[in-house]
Structure 1
């Protein structure tokens, strides 16, 4: 039951529907009998420009703001930046759905024995029911090779399927039943005639076995069929290589399925399982209550604290990663690829001050490095525009990006300073490149992709740094996402400072990774000496008088002490700056406790981040407490994370936290069960990838390891530390060799 979601009723709303996807196409299936809804998405259907633009010459005002900030003129500097640096926020300009396919069946009143299921190991959604002794089944899936949504409905009695199929969508769209078995859709993403963006074409084809189908205005009517298959294809004119130059040809191709349905389905399962079966996690053992429908399991979790349910939650996150981010697809947005709204919350964009990065926290550890590639592709595509922003806005070298962008690849600072004046996204993004290297040992990737990106981010940071009164280097002006403080002189609400803690930590990590990459590659570059000197002269994070890590350069009074962002402990997680510094780790505990006491963790992704932080701090009881809070307070019946609304980051972040309590790794050591709650006393994990280039299989019981095998994929030194800090091994390994360190008992 750790790889299946099932329910005894259809979804009554979108948050109960179940997700399918192949990275390009997405579908939320409701599972209705008399009326099925397939809510459809294509990754590139976005409303269009204008987008925020660089305000050339802003640098002279930034220099003035720096001088003001050094004199403690926070409010004045903030007003100057708002007026002279920030471009306007342009909204709505949203990611949009392709539309809804509606399937209505006749004579189905009073059906029984209903079941709706999503098999995570097959990536197939199924519903079954019985009417008048006739068995009915509908299967829906989205194969990668065929690039289409396939939905097949079949009955056990020939000729018993009749109904109608139609398509609906708001906005600029033409929907035509173009033949007896086909609906053609032609449209363009836009908002009431403005922001005309991506054009799209879609074809809905119906293939019947027995019976007939005819068109009736814009509907297709099915009569007396044994079974029927719906095939939905879609293509757009979006051109990722140059979004301003749309593709000329973008036809939606027909895919014939009827005579090869089983072979397509079988190959789809094989392709999906090649990714899904790379690793597994089983916590505890299956109990009777784990056999209940998923919505009941979620409701009852508060009573039974089912470990098997945690395994299901974890596997669902892996499934979402596979379904929303595949090789040669776009980067997952805030909602992955699943979005029902024409004006989505936050436009369903790419928030780069935690959210999109969190969506990619899991993929390396669970053996899905190719699912990480769309993120790399996307942030690299921002670099050319980022260079223009660095030059024209900041008069700096390198490349810069801010808190947010989308498929139009803009990099300008925009909106309110509290969220928009944050030129640090490239630094946070850059850590993912080093993570990929640390997990895979791919030196070619390190040379050709990681190092160039690190160089771009480091050069911008180098030029943007300024001296404080003690001669140490501080970064700014910048906000600490998206928090606020009271100006000590005016009591006005402010956001902008020099040397905010998160900024210092991201710059430290980016410089460290750049220098480390050069060392690994045995390379020397003209910027190395400058960056090394700056690295050694960076101002350190400061611990305040109350024992907390300070968020800004002074002990300001916070407007929201329970803010959802926990930016000033970035160096604990996802960063590593403080991994061996007990002083800062202790201060981080005080920081987290204070944030939570003040109401923090109230959004799904924020709670997920907190779980990972407590795991890094090796506080298993806090991990357990916050994992339970995430499931009980921020998880919908279809297991989507609820920000609210649904965002993919909370699902992935929560699953990442589960791993972080079981294994923590660096390029030098692997720690087993470092933050394991007492309640998770037994479990088994297979195929877990760790930094240093190893794959682990191990089991534990009564919080002690009782079997462990390791595969070396990079030939690096292997150091394994057990829960009681006993060093199990510290040895050189051979690339490709398996090591049984603790035989199974």
Structure 2
């Protein structure tokens, strides 16, 4: 059942300035809390400052703080572009054109085998630094245990009692001093006695103790044919108040201290994807020396203040329940059957916390596990998988007001636009740049995982969308100019490799795949003109054409791109009244595959709109329904966004319930959420966290369809609440409150100025400090420009029933940059 709460409300007050948001979270502490230590990694609590990550276990007798640094990866500089494959790519294309998909798949598999050929890697893994260990004798019997992660100030805390003495630990990864800091205190003097040790699973390492510092140096581990070349050094420096510090072989012994503060600094030799000339020991020591100059209380205050400059931009209140008094692990277990709106808002804000903590300007983008990984060979290498996962990591960046967190992804795109020239030239004889479905610290752009998964030359097409979206949300022409060549390089690549399909009617990409799915038995997936490819190129070409016009560059090239754009295939509605995944009508209603890539056009692209394209919307609903709800964690996160775009808040909320449930199994496909709120593919992948965070935002505000839609998909389960700081295209920030599913107040803060067009429930009448005339025609604000798509082709077997959209109205008003416009509901 599609639900959109569209009712009228009577409010006598007509005050123009309304600020109903700032105090709402006072009684809703944003904490993950537990009454027992973590017994395994998926129960530990993550902290990070973008570069350094740590997982806090909270053991009273043995504390493990597992450590990561963002540039400790296996391997060394170098690309993975295979030689002499161009002719085979042409042969695969020819076989597909001849209607021989099995032969095409066989040749693809032979050309790009599942295991990397000798001398060529399929990507290097992100690797752990190791762990800090704190051993407390006699603390195995304890009481009053409590541990928490406070995402309001980005600090993890542990407390417990032994023999009447209260022990406390406070841990944070400093955003300002760039070290991990651990403070240990007790309620009684001279009560802190414990040992400190460092360990690492890397084979090449050395541990050295000086009078007051512990140094662990090492080299990243080798994988396949690649020798590890990232050198690293970690330093632990204890500061004692009272007590004694001694060394015992490979450990520090601390006895009878009143307070201990441990500083952990890590440096590597990584400068850039092609430069390993840094000095890890000097970097670690210099950073540590600077951190030691700052008193603890000041360091903590500076850290939290810096973090909160990002985090505090958005506040969300979805109501309260008694569940909030329970520990987080219990709340996750009970969420599917118990009303717990605060867990939804906590999960939303936890996603923002993770993005701030794993993706800071000047650093690396968040990978498949953010910056949190305990292994040398993690699942899927914890690389950058760009056929959905890396992109999903950044879906919350703009809408949840964290635009700066996007910068590491743009920096990686700058690198890939260089290394990707080799892929474009050697494999496709094309201009511009290209990559496939994976990359790593070394910015590889060749095939990964062979000719079934990897023959997808679309990774750069999807990643480059983030440049355009950032521009739409922030409106900075200087930003667009900086990254213009990346957009141009993608357009050049596809302009060169597009060719006519078998009918001679359309221009398509071949060979390619619809990510990780197949259409014939025997894992036959290689194909021509997949729907997702067509949708991606549609956006690549439009991005370039618009950027070219805005910047007044490459007019002639833009004309050529426009000619090719006009020959892209339209979307198609197949025999099962589904949105076709392939150029031919090959979908199966029994297909439950986790990837539903052809719905990229619905979200994040916004090419399909319920108000403009009801037939395609209905087909998208059918495709989603056939695939089912329960899936991997990231897939369910994507589905929340899709159902929100389909204006079905109740269905979107059901997917949140599915996601906020314990996973069915570590190696299964059940998806869900671990006790520490991290997403379960399973195993752990961080993309599901980010996908759900963006999905919750999409339920509240959408701005892709030429207007700002207020409360487009509010579920029955969240009838009352408020949100402030959500961001839309055109640089607008939205604050609003609702009750009984009905909007009660609205405030629009215009950062850039320009026309603000609102889509509201039909019966909603706003009164404020500006007039709100009915909107006519298309939005004059260029950041809300809607791209016209071709009418879909429909199978004669399709049986369309019609998609009913809610009754809404469009109003608009002109804004000035920096001004705030407040409204209440008019009587």
TM-score under structure 1 length normalisation: 0.95
Say whether 1:200 aligns with 2:241: no
Say whether 1:97 aligns with 2:124: no
Given that 2:111 and 2:451 are in contact with CA atoms closer than 8 Å, whether structure 1 keeps it comes out as: no
1:224-243 aligned at under 5 Å gives the runs 224-240=256-272, 242-243=273-274
Measured at CA, do residues 465 and 385 of structure 1 come closer, stay the same or move farther in structure 2, by a change above 3 Å? Answer: same
Given that 1:183 and 1:204 are in contact with CA atoms closer than 8 Å, whether structure 2 keeps it comes out as: yes
Query: For 1:696 and 1:146, how far apart are their aligned partners in 2?
Result: 33
Given that 2:761 and 2:809 are in contact with CA atoms closer than 8 Å, whether structure 1 keeps it comes out as: no
CA positional deviation for 1:737: 1.2
Match of 2:44 in 1: 17
CA positional deviation for 1:249: 5.8
Match of 1:466 in 2: 499
CA-to-partner distance for each residue in 1:691-712, whole Å, 9 max, x for gaps? Answer: 1220111001111111001111
CA positional deviation for 1:39: 0.3
Say whether 1:158 aligns with 2:189: yes
1:277-316 aligned at under 5 Å gives the runs 277-284=312-319, 286-316=320-350
CA positional deviation for 1:723: 3.1
Query: For 1:227 and 1:346, how far apart are their aligned partners in 2?
Result: 42
Query: For 2:429 and 2:114, how far apart are their aligned partners in 1?
Result: 17
CA positional deviation for 1:675: 1.3
Task: Give the superposed CA RMSD.
Answer: 2.0
Say whether 1:354 aligns with 2:376: no
Match of 2:161 in 1: 130
Say whether 1:190 aligns with 2:221: yes
Query: For 1:630 and 1:509, how far apart are their aligned partners in 2?
Result: 30
CA positional deviation for 1:521: 3.5
1:610-689 aligned at under 5 Å gives the runs 610-632=639-661, 633=663, 634-666=672-704, 668-689=706-727
CA positional deviation for 1:406: 0.1
Q: Bigger CA drift: 390-399 or 76-85?
A: 76-85
Say whether 1:265 aligns with 2:297: no
Query: For 2:123 and 2:810, how far apart are their aligned partners in 1?
Result: 56
Query: For 1:555 and 1:743, how far apart are their aligned partners in 2?
Result: 49
Match of 2:369 in 1: 335
| Secondary structure of 2:692 counterpart | helix
CA positional deviation for 1:58: 2.4
CA positional deviation for 1:34: 0.9
Match of 2:73 in 1: 46
Query: For 1:259 and 1:510, how far apart are their aligned partners in 2?
Result: 48
CA-to-partner distance for each residue in 1:90-134, whole Å, 9 max, x for gaps? Answer: 468321111011101133243221110111011000111222332
Say whether 1:393 aligns with 2:427: yes
Say whether 1:734 aligns with 2:761: no
CA positional deviation for 1:174: 3.1
CA positional deviation for 1:427: 0.9
Q: Bigger CA drift: 79-88 or 505-514?
A: 79-88
CA positional deviation for 1:207: 1.2
Match of 2:623 in 1: 591
| Secondary structure of 2:573 counterpart | coil
| Secondary structure of 2:555 counterpart | coil
CA-to-partner distance for each residue in 1:202-251, whole Å, 9 max, x for gaps? Answer: 111111110101000000000110011111100001122x4254325652
Query: For 1:733 and 1:617, how far apart are their aligned partners in 2?
Result: 29
Say whether 1:111 aligns with 2:146: no
Query: For 1:59 and 1:2, how far apart are their aligned partners in 2?
Result: 58
Say whether 1:528 aligns with 2:558: yes
Say whether 1:318 aligns with 2:352: yes
Given that 2:439 and 2:445 are in contact with CA atoms closer than 8 Å, whether structure 1 keeps it comes out as: yes
CA-to-partner distance for each residue in 1:159-208, whole Å, 9 max, x for gaps? Answer: 11111111111123434342233211110011379632311011111111
Given that 1:61 and 1:85 are in contact with CA atoms closer than 8 Å, whether structure 2 keeps it comes out as: no
CA positional deviation for 1:586: 0.8
Match of 1:499 in 2: 529
CA positional deviation for 1:636: 0.6
Q: Aligned residues, how many?
A: 735
Query: For 2:655 and 2:401, how far apart are their aligned partners in 1?
Result: 26
Say whether 1:344 aligns with 2:344: no
Given that 1:6 and 1:116 are in contact with CA atoms closer than 8 Å, whether structure 2 keeps it comes out as: yes
Match of 2:801 in 1: none
Query: For 2:353 and 2:107, how far apart are their aligned partners in 1?
Result: 46
| Secondary structure of 1:316 counterpart | helix
Q: 1:439 aligns with which of 473, 479, 496?
A: 473
Given that 2:64 and 2:131 are in contact with CA atoms closer than 8 Å, whether structure 1 keeps it comes out as: yes
Query: For 1:189 and 1:260, how far apart are their aligned partners in 2?
Result: 33
| Secondary structure of 1:526 counterpart | helix
CA positional deviation for 1:526: 2.8
CA positional deviation for 1:418: 2.2
CA positional deviation for 1:624: 1.6
Say whether 1:570 aligns with 2:652: no
Measured at CA, do residues 559 and 707 of structure 1 come closer, stay the same or move farther in structure 2, by a change above 3 Å? Answer: closer
Measured at CA, do residues 245 and 175 of structure 1 come closer, stay the same or move farther in structure 2, by a change above 3 Å? Answer: closer
Measured at CA, do residues 180 and 683 of structure 1 come closer, stay the same or move farther in structure 2, by a change above 3 Å? Answer: same
Measured at CA, do residues 671 and 301 of structure 1 come closer, stay the same or move farther in structure 2, by a change above 3 Å? Answer: same
CA-to-partner distance for each residue in 1:568-600, whole Å, 9 max, x for gaps? Answer: 11100111111221111110001010111xxx6
Query: For 2:140 and 2:448, how far apart are their aligned partners in 1?
Result: 54
Q: Bigger CA drift: 190-199 or 113-122?
A: 190-199
Measured at CA, do residues 192 and 54 of structure 1 come closer, stay the same or move farther in structure 2, by a change above 3 Å? Answer: closer
Match of 1:544 in 2: 574
Say whether 1:606 aligns with 2:608: no
Query: For 1:14 and 1:407, how far apart are their aligned partners in 2?
Result: 24
| Secondary structure of 2:193 counterpart | strand
CA-to-partner distance for each residue in 1:353-397, whole Å, 9 max, x for gaps? Answer: 000000000011111111010011112211111111101110011
TM-score under structure 2 length normalisation: 0.86
Say whether 1:457 aligns with 2:457: no
Greater relative CO, 1 or 2 (CA 8 Å, sep 6+): 2
Measured at CA, do residues 2 and 516 of structure 1 come closer, stay the same or move farther in structure 2, by a change above 3 Å? Answer: farther
Q: 2:538 aligns with which of 508, 527, 533?
A: 508
Deviating beyond 6 angstroms after TM superposition, the runs of 4 or more aligned structure 1 residues are: none
Given that 2:606 and 2:705 are in contact with CA atoms closer than 8 Å, whether structure 1 keeps it comes out as: no
CA positional deviation for 1:492: 4.2
Measured at CA, do residues 292 and 405 of structure 1 come closer, stay the same or move farther in structure 2, by a change above 3 Å? Answer: same
